[in-house]
Amino acid sequence: MDIKLQNILQKVQKPARYSGGEYKQIVKDKSAGLLRVAYCFPDTYEIGMSNLGLRILYGLLNARDDVWCERVFAPWGDMEALMRENAIPLYGLESGDSIRDFDIVSFSLGTELSYTTVLNMLDLGGIPVKAKDRSDDDPLIIAGGMCAFNPEPLADFIDLFVIGEGEEVLGEIIEAYKLAKSQGVNKTDFLEAASAIGGVYVPSRYDVAYNDNGTVEKIVPQRGVPLPVEKRFVTDFDAAYFPTDTIIPSTGIVHDRVVLELFRGCVRGCRFCQAGHITRPVRARSPETLTRQAIESIQNSGYDEITLSSLSTSDYGGLFPLCDQLLDWCESRKVSLSLPSLRADNFSVELMERVQKVRKSGLTFAPEAGSQRLRDVINKNVTEDELLNTCAIAFSGGWNGVKLYFMLGLPTETDEDVLAIAELSRAVLDTWKRTAKNKHRGVRITVSTSCFVPKPHTPFQRELQVTMAEYQRRVDLLRDALKSSKAITYNWHTPETSFIEATLARGDRRIGAVIESAWRQGAYLDTWSEYFSLERWLQSFEQCGLDPAFYATRERAADELLPWRVVSSGVSEDHFRCERERAQANQITPDCREQCSACGVAELATGGVCHGQK
Amino acid sequence: MGKNKLRLRFCKTGNAKYISHLDLMATLQRALLRAGVNLRYTEGFNPHPIMSIALPLSVGCESVCELMDFEPEGVLPDNLNDYLSEGITVTDAYVSARKFADIAWLGIRGSLVFDGDIDELQACFGQESIIIQKKTKRGVNDLDIVPFIRDIEFHAGDMITMTAKISAQNPTLNPEHLMQALEGDLKPDFTTFCRTEVYDAEMNIFR
């Protein structure tokens, strides 16, 4: 490491985030002419290293002997300022080489609020942020992840998007890149060739026309490119690569433990949930595979905790056999097991009892809405009885804290629905009074609300977001209703970030100018409240002549062409329309195990991997 | 006291110098578990492995003489270093009856980038007293560091090399305290330090 970098690492907080050198980082021969990939995560080291996708793709790419993939994270403000001051370009942690000298620079997009961080990372690497300003000498800039399901806001900046899961398609892109490089093909021609790869969206190959009112008039694909681009996904998930021998950070990260991925997709179909829709169909690993992966991971890492990850862990069919097998192995070795994303049903507590034999920390549930009517609207099929029974079992079993998460501003929400959150919380408190064994220890019930953000590729993709003032009014209403209960704490997220998130989530290509303007005015690490500034975003919208309300708080007409129709998750527009109508009629839709709702994914799922089609 | 109490001697150099004390504990615990070595845990509601590192290093300072006491179940494998991250290397593991409290002096070596004359540095540390401000738990106090420095020498080279022995405990000096003496005109452009040896009060090597 050069002295200039060592010098600034002595001045920043947590320098271990910037030094590399962790156990199992992969270092290859710089002089071997390998294809160099910078895997950029547009957030801090602690967040990025906790991302399973990064570990999977890092492992897969480095398993190839023609590729060297390195990690790049967003430096915190102190480091960023010193890097600029000392002209140190953003570098790969493994080699210390500037990302400008890589072949491919890839971004993982997990949240819309990371867009300004993407731009700043490119700029810190000395790479022009706009695709049209880059030459053939600059790296190829690609992006994937959840937010790529609406790629349009970043269309000006990214050369190529990967839609869906990256395991297979990244390899295909690399093959195409190598071929192009060996033939001396320029970037434009390479992108033309790459647009033929399934799941690849090359924004420069599409033209978008707008109506006078600002809505999309038409999306015109240039010769030979598909419309829409269908997402890619791994069909045989049980056999899919899982990194059991992965980097162990030398400094604390957010999820500092083994993370097992039980399944992808979700049978539930909650109407607000983007993840649940874009990751269909459900594909699970067998308990045997998972147990083997868990044991290998623990032995290779030295971690003493395993967490079971998925969108809805209690829906995993083999959960009991899996937990039994894992507990058998873990208990004698002092390895603990944790289960996030549990539903508020009886099954879950029974499981928690088995798993958390020693420590009884808090329980967390997300009913999302206070009234049964509104839970039916969003298709969150949890009843009040289920929630209260679950709490009763938990309280009588010694738990003395519950966290309840809700959204405000859901479609059709009335003041009655808001007040129902208070009633439900008090019912939980009454349940505690009735069932708790150790009343002298007291109880902590924490109610949290956030502002609903409508997302693309969901039944609610055409819904409006309530204004910030309206959200605040509903917060005040709920706060008043909860005032009398000392045992209930109410926390609410401020609506400012949700508002900007809503503009970006359903943005079109024109909003790219706003992102660039916000970044030029200093926007960076917007997911962090230390850095986020609503004022700066509003100014940027104004400068670009765009109205944030057009994107966030406007309901889209049923026939409006949505910008993200350039890509398809496999779930059909018909399904979204049908689900929206059912929502408006307070009708629930059974989960995929009970009845297929013909969402359209089954047609993608050749090989019969869709749930119930086996 | 456990029967299997062992003392591990290890280096922490290169990129590993940026690992904080707390993170180093977790890093070593995981490395030992990877190597198949289980540790004895404390009893209680929140069991944690019994391990103790002598005189925590500051972040950014290297060392070739770190000591850690711990209680492994079973024997240590010969290839322990295969399980450690870059820059952390175990050099010895042995049974010792001596307590960390007996450590009195630390050998240090520094590399300095300094434009001026080496004699100015030597002269500065030749003064009868050097008062610096030292942070303690009770606030900032003035401290004369001269009685707590021995054998300080400077050698010319690509970078200036400084060697010294400094007080390890009561008070604990670290290399940054010495550099406080060089504030102003004598301030080096760059410094990096390495802890080279640990000594007892009689200046015998502590093991």
Looking at residues A92-111, what average pLDDT do you find? 98
Candidates B10, B18, B41, B59, partner chain A, best to mutate (most A CBs within 10 A): B18
pLDDT value of residue B3: 67
Give how far Cα B39 sits from Cα of A178, A251, A305, Å.
Answer: 49, 21, 16
Is the pLDDT at A598 greater than 60? The verdict is yes
Question: Which of the four pLDDT bands, split at 50, 70 and 90, describes residue A611?
Answer: low
Return d(Cα A392, Cα A433) in angstroms, integer. Answer: 10
The answer, for B85 touching chain A at a CB cutoff of 8 Å, is yes
3-class secondary structure for B91-146?
EEEECCCCCHHHEEEEEEEEEEECCCCHHHHHHHHCCCCCEEEEEECCEEEEEECH
Is the pLDDT at A120 greater than 90? The verdict is yes
Percent of chain A scoring above 70 in pLDDT: 95
Contact residues on chain A for B27, CB-CB shorter than 8 A: 23, 248, 250
pLDDT value of residue A438: 78
The answer, for A252 touching chain B at a CB cutoff of 8 Å, is yes
Contact residues on chain A for B31, CB-CB shorter than 8 A: 23, 302
**Smallest Cα distance from A80 to chain B, Å:** 18
pLDDT value of residue A302: 94
- Those residues whose C-beta lies under 8 Å from the C-beta of residue A559, and which sit 6 or more positions away, are none
The answer, for A26 touching chain B at a CB cutoff of 8 Å, is no
pLDDT value of residue B49: 85
Contact residues on chain B for A256, CB-CB shorter than 8 A: 26
pLDDT tens column, A218-234: 999 998 899 999 999 99
The 3-state DSSP class for residue A100 equals: helix
pLDDT value of residue A452: 98
**Smallest Cα distance from B191 to chain A, Å:** 8
Mean pLDDT score of chain A: 93
DSSP H helices in B35-87: none
pLDDT value of residue A357: 54
pLDDT value of residue A401: 85
**Smallest Cα distance from A141 to chain B, Å:** 29
The answer, for A302 touching chain B at a CB cutoff of 8 Å, is yes
CB-nearest partner of A15 from B29, B31, B59: B59
Would you report the helix, strand and coil content of chain A in percent, each value rounded to 5? 40, 15, 45
- Those residues whose C-beta lies under 8 Å from the C-beta of residue B158, and which sit 6 or more positions away, are none
pLDDT value of residue A348: 65
Instruction: Tell me whether residues A21 and B33 touch, CB distance under 8 A.
Output: no
**Chain A from 334 to 373: CB within 8 A of any B CB:** 334, 359
Rg (CA), chain A: 24
User: Is residue A198 a contact partner of residue A165, using CB atoms and an 8 Å limit?
Assistant: no
pLDDT tens column, A352-392: 666 665 455 567 889 999 999 999 999 998 899 989 988 88
pLDDT value of residue A335: 87
Give how far Cα A327 sits from Cα of A58, A115, A131, A191, A299, Å.
Answer: 30, 41, 51, 50, 15
Is the pLDDT at A67 greater than 50? The verdict is yes
Is the pLDDT at A174 greater than 50? The verdict is yes
pLDDT value of residue A398: 78
Is the pLDDT at A501 greater than 80? The verdict is yes
pLDDT value of residue A1: 81
Helices and strands: H and E segment counts in chain A: 22, 19
Q: What is the mean pLDDT of each run of 10 residues along chain B (207 residues)?
A: 82 97 95 92 80 95 97 92 95 95 97 90 92 88 94 93 96 93 88 97 96
Is the pLDDT at A450 greater than 70? The verdict is yes
CB-nearest partner of B87 from A7, A21, A252: A21
Contact residues on chain B for A251, CB-CB shorter than 8 A: 19-20, 23
Contact residues on chain A for B33, CB-CB shorter than 8 A: 302-304
Q: Where are the beta strands (DSSP E) in A67-199?
A: 67-73, 104-108, 140-144, 160-162
pLDDT value of residue B74: 84
Q: What is the dihedral of CA A562, A597, A452, A112, to 10 degrees?
A: -50
pLDDT value of residue B47: 74
Instruction: Tell me whether residues A7 and B47 touch, CB distance under 8 A.
Output: no
**Smallest Cα distance from A434 to chain B, Å:** 28
pLDDT tens column, A233-285: 999 999 999 999 999 999 999 999 999 999 999 999 999 999 999 999 999 99
In order, the DSSP letters of A204-256 are GGEEEEE-TTSSEEEEEEPTT--SSEEPB--S-TTTS---SS--B-SS--TT-
Contact residues on chain B for A12, CB-CB shorter than 8 A: none
CB-nearest partner of B23 from A9, A251, A333: A251
Neighbours of A591 (CB within 10 A): 19
Q: Phi first, then psi: what are they for A91, rounded to 5°?
A: -130, 160
3-class secondary structure for A19-75?
HCCCECCCCCCHHHCCEEEEEEECCCHHHHCCCHHHHHHHHHHHHCCCEEEEEEECC
Q: What angle do CA A67, A70, A76 make, to 5 degrees?
A: 160
**Smallest Cα distance from A588 to chain B, Å:** 44
Which has more confidence, A43 or A597? A43
A249 to chain B: nearest residue by CA? B27
The answer, for B89 touching chain A at a CB cutoff of 8 Å, is no
Residue among A86, A87, A124 at smallest CA distance from A105: A124
Instruction: State the number of CA atoms in the 13 A half-sphere of A510 facing the CB.
Output: 19
The 3-state DSSP class for residue A138 equals: coil
Instruction: Tell me whether residues A250 and B16 touch, CB distance under 8 A.
Output: yes
Instruction: Tell me whether residues B18 and A15 touch, CB distance under 8 A.
Output: yes
The answer, for A14 touching chain B at a CB cutoff of 8 Å, is yes
The answer, for B19 touching chain A at a CB cutoff of 8 Å, is yes
Is the pLDDT at A614 greater than 50? The verdict is no
pLDDT value of residue B66: 98
pLDDT value of residue A362: 67
Distance of CA A567 to the CA centre of its chain: 18
User: Is residue A497 a contact partner of residue A111, using CB atoms and an 8 Å limit?
Assistant: no
Q: State the count of interchain CB pairs (< 8 A) between A and B.
A: 75
pLDDT value of residue A400: 82
- The encoded tokens of residue A570 equal 């496999």
